[in-house]
Amino acid sequence: GAGVSQSPRYKVAKRGQDVALRCDPISGHVSLFWYQQALGQGPEFLTYFQNEAQLDKSGLPSDRFFAERPEGSVSTLKIQRTQQEDSAVYLCASSLRETSTDTQYFGPGTRLTVL
Partner 1 sequence: AQKVTQAQTEISVVEKEDVTLDCVYETRDTTYYLFWYKQPPSGELVFLIRRNSFDEQNEISGRYSWNFQKSTSSFNFTITASQVVDSAVYFCALTRYNFNKFYFGSGTKLNVKP
The contact set with partner 1 (CB under 8 A) reads 3, 31, 33, 35, 40-45, 48, 55-56, 58-59, 89, 91, 93, 100-101, 103-109, 111
Which amino acid is located at 68 in the chain?
E
Residue with Cβ nearer partner 1 (84 or 103): 103
Min dist. Cβ of residue 114 to partner 1 (A):
18
Residue with Cβ nearer partner 1 (27 or 39): 39
Instruction: Give CA–CA dist 79/42, Å, rounded.
Output: 21
The three-state secondary structure class of 7 is: strand
Which amino acid is located at 6 in the chain?
Q
The three-state secondary structure class of 20 is: strand
